[in-house]
Amino acid sequence: MISVDEALQRVLALAPQPKPELIGLENALGRILLEPAVSRMTQPPFNAAAMDGYAWRSADAGQSLRIVGEAAAGHPWTGTAQPGTAIRIFTGAAVPDGFDRVEMQENTRREGDLLTITEASHGTHIRSRGCDFAEADELPAGRRLTAADIGLLAAMNVPQVMVARRPKVAIMASGDELVRPGDTPRDGQIISSNDLAIAALAQEVGAETTLLPIAADTEHSLRECFHMARDADLLITIGGASVGDHDLVGKVAAELGLERAFYKIAMRPGKPLMAGDLHGTAMLGLPGNPVSSIVCGKIFMQPLIRRMQGFTDLDQTRKAMLGVDLVAEGNRQHYLRAKLDRQDGQPTITPFDRQDSSLLSILSQADALLVRPSGDRARAKGEMMEYLPLHGGS
C-alpha cells in the first residue's frame, strides 16, 4: 500500500495538458483562464466625476463662480476651463481639463448662473484616468474566474477568454444490486447513489459528466461499459474494486490495457482505490462503499479534474482546534467526518462518533474531513488539527 500523498502525485501525473477553448464572458464563471487576458481599455478612460455637483478650479477658492456649461455621463462638455468659472457635472461625467475639483451639490449654493461653494470637501471627488486599470494590464492565467473577474474583464473590453475545456468525465457504477433512484428495488437490491454523488463532485470543479449505464457484475457487461467511455478524458468506476469473487473492475481494466499507476493505498476509508491510464483516458477506480467513494472523489478526483484544467493551487487543507480527545490512529491515513463550529471564538472541529463507510447521512451532516496521518499519536482536545472542508467547489 502506498501513502495518500504518493497516490495523489501518481493520480495528478495522469492529467493530460489542458485543452484550450475560447468562450464568451457570459459562460465563463468558474472556468480556468489558460491565457492572460489583456485589457483593451484604460479605466476610467478619462478623469471622471465621483459626485453630482459642480466642477471648479481650486485656484478660484473663496470666489463666486460663473456656471458656463454642463457635463453628464456619456455627454462631455467641450469647452475649456477659464478662471472664475464652473460647470454643472454629474457622477460618471468626464471632468474637463483645467477643473481640478468636483464639489457635491449639497455643499454649494446656486443663484441663477452664480455658484458659491459653501463648504469644500477634503477630497477632489475626481477619479483620475486609469486609477482602476490601464490598457495592456493583464489578468494572469491559472485562476478560476469569479463573478468579480468577469466584471473586470467586461470593463477591460475583453468579451471572450481562453479557458480550459471542461474535462469530459464518464462515471460507471457497477454491481448487480444497484438500481436507479425512482426504480423499485427487488429483494437484495439498493439504490445506486455513488455515481450521482461523484458526478456532482466532478461538476463542482468544472467537469462535464456522463453517467454510464450501471454495469452488472460480469466481465462482458463491464467491458461494454468501459467501451462507452473511450472518448472521455477521465473514467471513474465505482465498486467492484476489492478482493471478492464479484470484484472484477481491476481484472477487466487490466485486460483492456490499463497501465496501472497503483492499487490500494494506506487510507481509511478508501483502501482499494486504483488508478491508471487506459489508452489516453485517465481512470480512477473508486471503492463501492458510499463514503469511501465520495472521500476518494474529494481527495483524488477533484484535484485531478482541476489539474486537467491547468489549476495549480490544489491544497485544500485548513486548520482548526480539536473539540474532543482522540485515541492513537492505525496504519492508514484516516479521514473522519466532522462538524465545524466555534468554541471560545476559535474554529473547532469535532468528529462524529459513527464513522462506518456506508453512512451517507453522517457525511451529509458533516462540514469537514478531519485528517489524521497514519500512526498519529493520541490527540487532546484543544490541539490544532488539519482538515479538508466539504461541500462546495473552488
Ligand X SMILES: Nc1nc2c(c(=O)[nH]1)N[C@H]1C(S)=C(S)[C@@H](COP(=O)(O)OP(=O)(O)OC[C@H]3O[C@@H](n4cnc5c(N)ncnc54)[C@H](O)[C@@H]3O)O[C@H]1N2
Please identify which residue in the block is written with the cell numbers 489508452: 279
The contact pattern for ligand X, residues 265-284, with x = CB under 6 A and - = no contact, is: ----x-xx------------
Quick one: 89 or 286, whose CB is closer to ligand MOO? 286
CB of 388 to ligand X, least distance (A): 19
> DSSP character for 59?
G
C-beta separation of 69 from 89 below 8 A: no
Given ligand X, ligand MOO, none, residue 127, with its beta carbon under 5 to 8 Å by kind, binds none
How far from 348 is each of 21, 322, 323, 339, CA to CA, in Å?
A: 42, 6, 6, 8
Among positions 339-378, residues that touch ligand MOO (CB under 6 A) are: 357
Supply φ then ψ for residue 34, to 5 degrees. -95, -25
Give me the helices (H) in the chain, please: 4-12, 147-155, 194-204, 219-228, 249-255, 290-296, 302-308, 360-365
Given ligand MOO, ligand X, none, residue 241, with its beta carbon under 5 to 8 Å by kind, binds ligand X
Q: What CA–CA distance (Å, rounded) separates 194 from 185?
A: 16
Among positions 224-253, residues that touch ligand MOO (CB under 6 A) are: none
How many Å from the N-terminal Cα to the C-terminal Cα in the chain? 30
Q: Is 288 in the site for ligand X (CB under 6 A)?
A: yes
Q: Which of 105, 242, 343, 374 binds ligand X (CB under 6 A)?
A: 242
Concatenated DSSP letters of 73-116: TTB---S---TTEEEEE-TTPBPPTT--EEEEGGGEEEETTEEE
By beta-carbon distance, which residue lies closest to ligand X? 288
Quick one: 10 or 180, whose CB is closer to ligand X? 180
Given ligand MOO, ligand X, none, residue 153, with its beta carbon under 5 to 8 Å by kind, binds none
Q: Is 250 in the site for ligand X (CB under 6 A)?
A: no
Q: Is 269 in the site for ligand MOO (CB under 6 A)?
A: yes
Quick one: 122 or 354, whose CB is closer to ligand X? 354
Q: Which residues bind ligand X (CB under 6 A)?
A: 173, 175, 177-178, 190, 192-195, 238-244, 247, 269, 271-272, 287-290, 292, 357
